Amino acid sequence: MGHSYPPYRYEVSREKVREYAAATGVDGPARTAERGEVIAPPTFAACFTVGRFDALFADPELGAHWNLVHGSQEYVFHRPVRVGDVLACTPRIVDLRARGRLDVLTLQIDCLDADDDTPVVTSRGTLIFFTGKE
Amino acid sequence: MTVPSWDEVEVGQRIPTDRETLDQAHLIAYAAASGDLNPLHWDPDVAAEVSPTGGIIAHGMLNMGNVSRAVTRWAGGPERVLSLAATFKAPCPVGSTVTYGGEVVELDEHARTATLAVWAETEDGAKVVDRRSSRAVVQLG
């Protein structure tokens, strides 16, 4: 428990934000009125959190498999995600419990600005694995 | 975009709803854009074996993205959305027409923020994002 995975880097590119925005039907990237920053839609965070859950699947000790559903997801935005950001993201298992035939895993990913280590997004998601066990 | 002002927002106020039909092409575009490649969302054989419905279901995160779209529009920009939480309660079969909504449930005068209960619901009433445990916090003007 509390197991951390090695941090990975994610660079926020304009084209990726555009692709994500098109797939979810939003305008993007957007420019903020006050500071003129070019920022991503809030749930663009999926691209560098849920889209990187494969780190879990590469861990033989965890034994994760694709027989799962996403139970819940939470994001706290410490500041907007900007085009050009380089994020350092550290996944950490904060809870893992068996509920009958299910294993419920809670994964937190702390995403920091790689330039100055200030927090950008905190992600917390639960994954429900069907174990087939009674 | 217009930012809702503290003076105008009240508990019980609803944001404009949004509605969308999530077909297979949509799910594939979302999988590619987000990197969420779980075959449950595009492979009928895998879905037949592992899906809670026995068929392909939409990504919870696609529904959360669409909830976020409705909230962002009301909030007046992505930078005004301070947090989002969604519980994916019921599975959302591919082809579902989903309604996205939100209602102000709490106001914080000190921080000038509104907490919204948010939801996504199919025409059959399946709570794919459950309003009881799904929230957005918005910075008001």
Please state, in angstroms and rounded to a whole number, the distance separating the CA atoms of residues A6 and B9.
Answer: 44
CA distances from B99 to A61, B57, B64, B102, B116 (A): 40, 16, 12, 10, 16
Q: To the nearest whole angstrom, how far is the Cα of B97 from the nearest Cα of chain A?
A: 15
Contact flag B78-A42 (C-beta cutoff 8 Å): yes
Residue in A19, A43, A80 closest to B61 by CB? A43
Q: Which helix (H) or strand (E) holds A82?
A: none
Residue A78 per-residue DSSP state: S
**What is the spatial distance between Cα B59 and Cα B27, in angstroms, rounded to a whole number?**
7
In this structure, which topology does domain A8-130 adopt according to CATH? Thiol Ester Dehydrase; Chain A (3.10.129)
Q: Where are the domains of chain B?
A: 18-139
Q: How many residues does chain B have?
A: 141
Q: Angle CA(B31)–CA(B34)–CA(B39) in degrees, nearest 5?
A: 30
CA distance B68 to chain A (A): 7
Pairing of strands A102-113, A86-99: antiparallel
Among the partner residues B33, B50, B133, nearest to A23 by beta-carbon distance: B33
Range B18-139: architecture per CATH = Roll (3.10)
In this complex, do B77 and A71 lie within 8 Å of one another by their Cβ atoms?
no
State ipTM.
Answer: 0.95
pLDDT in tens, chain A (134 residues): 578 888 999 999 999 999 999 999 987 788 887 778 899 999 999 999 998 877 677 777 777 777 788 999 999 999 999 999 999 999 999 999 999 989 999 999 999 999 999 999 999 999 998 877 65
Tell me if the pTM is above 0.90: yes
A51: phi then psi, degrees, rounded to nearest 5? -70, -10
Number of H helices, E strands in chain A: 2, 7
Residue numbers in A near B53 (CB within 8 A): none
